[in-house]
């Protein structure tokens, strides 16, 4: 079971809140089965639940009566899971408890494999870490063993990455990134007790305001020089940059300021935000000046 497949459920009944962890199958059987037999209502409830994959702050709400309701969302990461187990998302003016008996067995196994007790604290398990070979890709989400998730904004070299903290919105230059699988020392590796994540040798923490960050200087210092051998390679690099800016602009997770900076940069570099116009300009060679200048022979200095 993957952590993001776990559903966090809070049942509010007569002023008492009960927290449980369930699979989607158990959610359908134990929650949606109590709803009206109307198929449209059930589908709407499922779509609302799935919205929590996109929005880390979204909770699906289902009301059965004036004194009974359900709040649910998919787990976004270890940090949110611990907060749920500690009652951080419960109402401050109501009693709450965590009920293991109502949880899906797969979720409790996953909890044990992560080394987390039902109160959200560490279970005191010792782990062994094994290095895993991995090629990092732009746009993928990477888990860090400190409980945070990071999106790869740019792969500057094989092990130097420009990352975005999914929760805080902070930019980080992670230097010397390695990928590991973590397994409890005294247990044989199975799906529920293996956790994959990254660690880095050092990090440059840049804050969350992109207009204050000199990305070009960072690339020059920590990036891997790329030798463009052909016009095709040059245009591929240009396409990658265009689509990176577009992804930032369209991301539902980033704030408006960050999107505006990406949009302004996009228009400054490409004079358009439209994909069809961009590809037309690319084919006409309007962005080839960088490749052409790099191919010009350097003149010897006069002695």
Residues 94 and 188 grouped into a single domain: no
Residue ending a domain, among 113, 141, 176, is 113
Biggest alpha carbon–alpha carbon distance for the chain = 91
pLDDT at 178: 94
Residues 141 and 66 grouped into a single domain: no
Name the residue range of residue 237's domain: 231-295
Number of Cβ within a 10 Å radius of residue 239: 14
Residues 11 and 102 grouped into a single domain: yes
pLDDT at 84: 94
Residues 68 and 105 grouped into a single domain: yes
Residues 57 and 92 grouped into a single domain: yes
- Residue 179 inside a domain? The answer is yes
pLDDT at 177: 94
- Residue 301 inside a domain? The answer is no
- Residue 160 inside a domain? The answer is yes
Q: Which runs of consecutive H residues, i.e. helices, occur in the chain?
A: 24-30, 39-54, 78-85, 105-113, 215-222, 231-250, 256-270, 275-283, 289-295
Handedness of CA 292, 154, 257, 245 (dihedral sign): positive
CA dist., res. 6 & res. 23, Å (int): 6
The secondary structure of 49-117, three-state, reads HHHHHHCCCCCEEEEEECCEEEEEEECCCHHHHHHHHCCCCCCCCCEEEECHHHCCHHHHHHHHHCCEC
**Domains held by the chain: number:** 3
- Residue 120 inside a domain? The answer is no
- Residue 147 inside a domain? The answer is yes
Residues 168 and 141 grouped into a single domain: yes
152, 161 contact by CB (below 8 A): yes
- Residue length of the chain: 303
Residues in the chain with pLDDT < 70? 35-38, 225-229, 252-255, 257-258, 290-303
144-161 as b/e: b if 16+ CB within 10 A:
beeebbbbbbbbbbebbb
What pTM, to 2 d.p., does this model score? 0.56
Residues 144 and 243 grouped into a single domain: no
């Amino acid at each position: 079971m993957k952590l993001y497949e776990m559903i966090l459920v809070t049942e509010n009944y007569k002023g008492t809140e009960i927290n449980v962890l369930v699979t989607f199958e158990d959610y359908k059987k134990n929650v949606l089965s109590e709803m009206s037999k109307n198929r449209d209502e059930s589908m709407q409830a499922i779509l609302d639940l799935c919205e929590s994959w996109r929005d880390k702050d979204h909770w699906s709400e289902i009301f059965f009566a004036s004194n009974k309701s359900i709040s649910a969302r998919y787990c976004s990461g270890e940090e949110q899971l611990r907060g749920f187990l500690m009652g951080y998302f419960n109402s401050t003016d109501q009693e709450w408890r965590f009920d293991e008996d109502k949880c899906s067995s797969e979720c409790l196994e996953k909890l044990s494999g992560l080394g987390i007790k039902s109160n959200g604290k560490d279970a005191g398990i010792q782990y062994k870490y094994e290095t895993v070979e991995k090629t990092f890709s732009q746009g993928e989400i990477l888990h860090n063993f400190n409980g945070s998730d990071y999106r790869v904004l740019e792969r500057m070299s094989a092990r130097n990455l420009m990352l975005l903290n999914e929760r805080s919105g902070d930019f980080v230059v992670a230097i010397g990134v390695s990928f590991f699988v973590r397994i409890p020392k005294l247990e044989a590796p199975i799906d529920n007790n293996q956790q994959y994540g990254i660690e880095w040798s050092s990090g440059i923490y840049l804050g969350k305001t992109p207009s204050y960050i000199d990305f070009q200087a960072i690339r020059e210092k920590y990036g891997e020089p790329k030798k463009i051998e052909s016009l095709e390679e040059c245009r591929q690099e240009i396409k990658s940059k265009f689509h990176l800016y577009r992804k930032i602009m369209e991301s539902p997770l980033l704030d408006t300021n960050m999107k505006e900076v990406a949009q302004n940069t996009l228009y400054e570099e490409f004079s358009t935000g439209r994909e069809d116009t961009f590809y037309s300009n690319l084919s006409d060679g309007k962005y080839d000046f960088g490749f052409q200048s790099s191919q010009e022979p350097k003149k010897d200095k006069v002695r």
